[in-house]
Structure 1
Amino acid sequence: MIFTKSKIFLLIWTILSTIGIISAIVLDNNVTVNEIQDCTTEFYDETEDVFGYVTRERNVYDNCIYYHNYTLCLNTSGANTDCSQKQLVYNVTCAIGTESYQSYEKVSEQVVQKNKTICNKRAYTIDIADSTKNINFSKAGYYCSLEGNIVTCDSVHDGNGDGKCKSGETCIKFEITSQGINTLQKRIDSVALKDSCS
């Protein structure tokens, strides 16, 4: 991958820390869903082009006159050969010297340390009235998504881990209501996710 002014030199240098981020989604007055994410800050080195002004030289052009002298003979042999000197004049463009100018261009490269934060959802906590329920899908090898009040989880092992239940994938759907968490659909070959939902 090539950037206009920079290119990645060394992808990932180190991981700084893990931070839990919680964003709250209020479904109704009695139900709040908190999305918990694990975030890591990754450091990497990137080589950037350094631009600056450089003094360059270029030719200076002007109109020039070019004289072409030649001999014209009417007879090419014998005593009566009649020759005369002729001249043709041409107007041409020619270089008459040089001049200096400033050019803005790449002059060097430098390595700059940068960082980026990558976050992955790992769980939902659901506050219903005075109780808290957990759906911790990262430990069970699932990825879940929340649409409205429905949590859909699909396995990262036999599914594509996009949080959608498709044919051939191990998945489970939960409905969140003010009375609790109900299982709507279950196509699951292990108890790992079921055990993590309490």
Structure 2
Amino acid sequence: MSMKRSYSVLILFLLLFSAVVLAGNITIEGDITILPVGTVSPEEQSPELSIFTTVLNLFLDKVSVISGELVRLRADLLYQNNSPIVSAPLDFYVGDTKVGTKQTDEDGSSVLEWDSSELPHGVYVVGVDYQGNGQAQPSHAEDQLTIQAPPVSITGAAITESQPSPIQEEKQCTTVSFEVQQPIMGSCTDTYPTTVCDDYPTNASCYETTEEVTHSCVTGYETVIKNKEECRTTALVINNHFAIPTINYACSTMEEGSIIIVTCDSKYDGDGNGECHSGESCLRYEIDGETISQTQRNSHDEFKESDGSFFQEENDLEVRQ
């Protein structure tokens, strides 16, 4: 009885084992190691990644432009063994302003054309940044750009005949010299430590060296003498006939029909704004064609032909032919 039971158990085990093998087509060789849930086997563990040094160079087609000109910015991103880094995003800056982002091409180059009218004229540091990607280190390069103010242009317009103003200003102008400091642009060379690998892309054979990078920079400043013209009004000419000096007086004008009224207050005991207030030495002219009348005022409320409180020298009115 026990012998039959043993045979039955053996036959049942063989049937179950055959079913498992046939269903999964499983082949078991060698030792079986059971790992806890969540454990990664040694064969599945990722090898340690190497961080490669990058070299970023920036080139400007112009170092000085007039506002409105296009500036071509080119950046080259390479590994230390001069192999290009492809499809890497590069951020371009002019001063603190980000002007664009471009990806590198198959040669590791990225080109951006920028309109210099976007920023005021001045001297700017142009920079380019690579943020890295976990296997390649971030890097930065910069250069300098001068944006000059555009020249003043005079646009021609149709000339129409018009009557000259009855009130003209005569000016006296002098040339004044002044000094300004301007940057002197040149070339600078910087030396950077670098790692070079001769067996890209494995980069197993590397050595330390240095690299020299030449770029545009400000090498100094020079003093430049410039001239400007300063002018002051010396007289008001009314109807091209009467000249009222404005050296000691500030004058304002008003037209009432054909009559031109000129009010002047002294720059010495007045506030010199062409308005007359009590206590200021004031003169008033009324011109009608080639006829003129003059009154004065100081402590009184009204203009009079002669004000006893008026103590400033009167203007030397000039009558011209």
Per the normalisation by structure 1, the TM-score is 0.52
Are residues 36 and 60 of structure 1, via their aligned partners in 2, closer, same or farther at CA, if it must alter by over 3 Å? same
* Higher helix fraction (1 or 2): 2
Q: CA deviation at 1:104?
A: 3.4
Q: Distance in 1 between matches of 2:267 and 2:191?
A: 62
Q: CA deviation at 1:39?
A: 0.6
Q: CA deviation at 1:40?
A: 0.5
Structure 1 counterpart of 2:220: 108
Q: How does 1:167-186 map to 2 (within 5 A)?
A: 168-178=279-289, 180-183=291-294, 186=297
Q: Distance in 2 between matches of 1:104 and 1:169?
A: 62
Query: 178, 189, 205: which is aligned to 1:44?
Result: 178
Q: CA deviation at 1:119?
A: 0.4
Runs of at least 5 residues in structure 2 that lack an aligned partner in the other structure: 1-121, 124-162, 197-206, 299-308
Query: 246, 254, 259: which is aligned to 1:137?
Result: 246
Query: 300, 305, 314: which is aligned to 1:193?
Result: 314
Q: Is 142-151 or 176-185 further displaced after alignment?
A: 176-185
Q: CA deviation at 1:135?
A: 0.6
Q: Distance in 1 between matches of 2:254 and 2:209?
A: 73
Per the normalisation by structure 2, the TM-score is 0.35
Q: How does 1:1-198 map to 2 (within 5 A)?
A: 26-27=164-165, 32-60=166-194, 97-127=209-239, 132-138=241-247, 141-148=248-255, 149-166=260-277, 168-178=279-289, 180-183=291-294, 186-187=297-298, 189-190=310-311, 192-196=313-317
User: Does the Cα contact within 8 Å between 2:242 and 2:317 map onto a contact in 1?
Assistant: no
Q: Distance in 2 between matches of 1:37 and 1:146?
A: 17
* Higher strand fraction (1 or 2): 1
Are residues 181 and 172 of structure 1, via their aligned partners in 2, closer, same or farther at CA, if it must alter by over 3 Å? same
Are residues 144 and 34 of structure 1, via their aligned partners in 2, closer, same or farther at CA, if it must alter by over 3 Å? same
Q: CA deviation at 1:102?
A: 3.5
Q: CA deviation at 1:38?
A: 0.8
Q: Distance in 2 between matches of 1:144 and 1:61?
A: 77
Q: Distance in 2 between matches of 1:111 and 1:105?
A: 18
Are residues 165 and 101 of structure 1, via their aligned partners in 2, closer, same or farther at CA, if it must alter by over 3 Å? farther
Q: Distance in 1 between matches of 2:280 and 2:194?
A: 73
Q: Which amino acid aligns with 1:163?
A: G
Q: Which amino acid aligns with 1:51?
A: M
User: Does the Cα contact within 8 Å between 2:261 and 2:287 map onto a contact in 1?
Assistant: yes
Q: Which whole-Å deviations, capped at 9, do the CAs of 1:66-121 have from their partners, x for residues lacking one?
A: xxxxxxxxxxxxxxxxxxxxxxxxxxxxx954433334332122222211111000
User: Does the Cα contact within 8 Å between 2:234 and 2:245 map onto a contact in 1?
Assistant: yes
Are residues 38 and 194 of structure 1, via their aligned partners in 2, closer, same or farther at CA, if it must alter by over 3 Å? closer
State the structure with bigger RCO (CA 8 A, min sep 6), 1 or 2. Answer: 1
Are residues 168 and 26 of structure 1, via their aligned partners in 2, closer, same or farther at CA, if it must alter by over 3 Å? farther
The alignment's C-alpha RMSD in Å is 3.5
Q: Distance in 2 between matches of 1:117 and 1:144?
A: 23
User: Does the Cα contact within 8 Å between 2:281 and 2:296 map onto a contact in 1?
Assistant: no
Q: CA deviation at 1:126?
A: 2.0
Runs of at least 5 residues in structure 1 that lack an aligned partner in the other structure: 6-24, 63-94
Q: Which whole-Å deviations, capped at 9, do the CAs of 1:33-55 have from their partners, x for residues lacking one?
A: 23111111112333323233322
Q: Is 180-189 or 43-52 further displaced after alignment?
A: 180-189
| Residue correspondences, number | 135
Q: Which amino acid aligns with 1:37?
A: K
Q: Which amino acid aligns with 2:271?
A: N
